[in-house]
Amino acid sequence: MGRKTELLLLVVVLVLLLLSLLPFSSLSLNQDFCIADLAAIYTPAGYPCKPPAFVTANDFYYDGLAGSFGPPIKPSNVALGSATVAEFPGVNGLAISAARMDIAAGGAVPLHSHPGGTELVYVLEGSLVSGFVSATLNKVYAKTLRKGDLMVLPQGQLHFQYSVGNTTAVIISTFNSANPGAQVMDYALFANDLPAEVVSKVTNLDELQVVKLKALFGGSG
């Protein structure tokens, strides 16, 4: 087999591999919609489509942000409702999702990031401080938000919110991703199984304090 033939076969294989991704990655481009088949395996390109014959109006509807989400998460005093692809299959392939947070008086959303999307915050009720920390400058950009205000939190940046009023602050967040993901810094540091001694070394926190925080967040080690 000649060198040119080998190169041609390699190109063909690469093209076939790329084409194999098209049923997932380009569905939003070449058809009206792609309702997620949550029973299938999630891929980097999203979920495969539910067969059109089984799609109904309910697939484009979600009421999960309207009601109660249960008791606030401790110790943050924040109730969270999500409308990402895992909860709302209709957003699959459309690069959009949403969430709602009810932040009780005195409550705070801990430092966290969304590696997969930018967040746009809209205040429905109450008042809060919202801000993020620039990854390159370590500079904090924060504003007090009130009913009707918007703030954008760039993708991947550590950010936070905390209530500054006497009533519950309610915000709706939208994302430019069906699955923006979330990593909460406290849980990343203290809900893991790294030994407290190691966490202390890599964070410069006192080891006894690390042990207490691991107990609070359910970590081990």
- Look up residue 188 and give its DSSP letter: H
Residue type, 81: G
Token pair listed for 20: 């194999």
Secondary structure in 3-state letters for 137-190: CCCEEEEEEECCCEEEECCCCEEEEEECCCCCEEEEEEECCCCCCCEEHHHHHH
Q: Which residue has the tokens 């994302």?
A: 175
Half-sphere exposure (Cβ direction) of 86: Cα atoms closer than 13 Å: 9
CB 110 within 8 A of CB 186: yes
Half-sphere exposure (Cβ direction) of 26: Cα atoms closer than 13 Å: 7
Token pair listed for 199: 């966490």
Which residues are annotated as part of the binding site?
Answer: 112, 114, 119, 159
What does the radius of gyration of the chain's CA atoms come to, in whole angstroms? 22
E strand or H helix at 152: strand 150-153
Total count of residues recorded for the chain:
221
CB 24 within 8 A of CB 43: yes
Which residues are annotated as part of the binding site for Mn(2+)?
Answer: 112, 114, 119, 159
Which residues are annotated as part of the binding site for oxalate?
Answer: 114, 119
Displacement of CA 113 from its chain's centroid (Å): 8
